[in-house]
Amino acid sequence: MKKMILAGCMVLAVALCAGCSSKSKTETATTASSEEGKKVLSKYKVPEITGAKKTQQLGEAQKGETIAVMKVKDFGEIKFKFFLKDAPLAVKNFVTLADNGYFDGQTFHRVINDFMIQGGDPTGTGTGGESIWGEEFENEISENLLPLRGSLCMANAGPDTNESQFFIVQAKPDAAKEIIDSGVADLTEEQKKLFEEQGGDPSLTGSYTVFGQIIEGYDVLDKIAATPVEDNGSGEQSKPVENVVIESVTIEKAK
């Protein structure tokens, strides 16, 4: 099943699909997630994961907090912190996959400048991947977290179809403001201010799990987003002409 992220009605590139899927602020209350009945596949060893005491999307990671260091060949490193309290399933899934070397050697198979970069598919086609439970898992939507520039989110093929694919939002403040002005996203004034200052894609609000945030490497994100692309086979200009390879994703503790 192809994991797609749909842009809002004020699309930033004509090749993007339009899908005004944002939900109102009353519909974006935290979705409770549970591991009841979820058994991790025996081939995955689950590492210790330490979350922050308080959810704060922007800013540095706290000392001792679990972070990830992603090395992208010829581009550099991106470091992420995670939101264990608000998205425990997505965090456990990503961190466990990373710690077991799942993402090493994979590519960012879908890149759209001023929107996002997408990876997590071992086939590199947008149709593959698995979760640590061997099945899809539910969205975790939190009012505390938004698809801001630099946010690490789960890609899906519809509600509650998360597996291993993820995307990193790259849209800058001017793109975010254009979407806000179009009126496709129902946001509070505080949320609008965050998007206008940080950037991101307001139209994705409420439809995708936000489970991490870049703490270092925005320059690397922008360099990847600017890589030349070609038709991906379905009319979208999003397939990198030359592979953008994730050399490794290592799990560490913030110092």
| Residue 21, in any domain of the structure | no
Pair of tokens at residue 95 = 């961190």
Q: What's residue 6's pLDDT?
A: 56
Residues 19 and 6: beta-carbon distance below 8 Å: yes
| Residue 55, in any domain of the structure | no
Q: What is the dihedral of CA 210, 78, 115, 203, to 10 degrees?
A: 20
Residues 112 and 4: beta-carbon distance below 8 Å: no
Residue with tokens 């489970």: 211
Averaged over successive runs of 10 residues, the pLDDT of the chain (255 residues) comes to 52 31 33 68 97 94 97 98 98 98 98 98 96 98 96 96 98 97 93 97 97 98 98 96 98 97
Q: What's residue 38's pLDDT?
A: 86
| Residue 14, in any domain of the structure | no
> Number of structural domains, the chain?
1
| Residue 227, in any domain of the structure | yes
Tell me how far apart the alpha carbons of residues 48 and 58 are, in angstroms, rounded to a whole number: 23
| Residue 174, in any domain of the structure | yes
* Domain that residue 235 falls in: 65-253
Whichever domain contains 80, its CATH number is 2.40.100.10
| Residue 185, in any domain of the structure | yes
| Residue 23, in any domain of the structure | no
Q: What's residue 165's pLDDT?
A: 98
| Residue 101, in any domain of the structure | yes
Q: What's residue 81's pLDDT?
A: 98
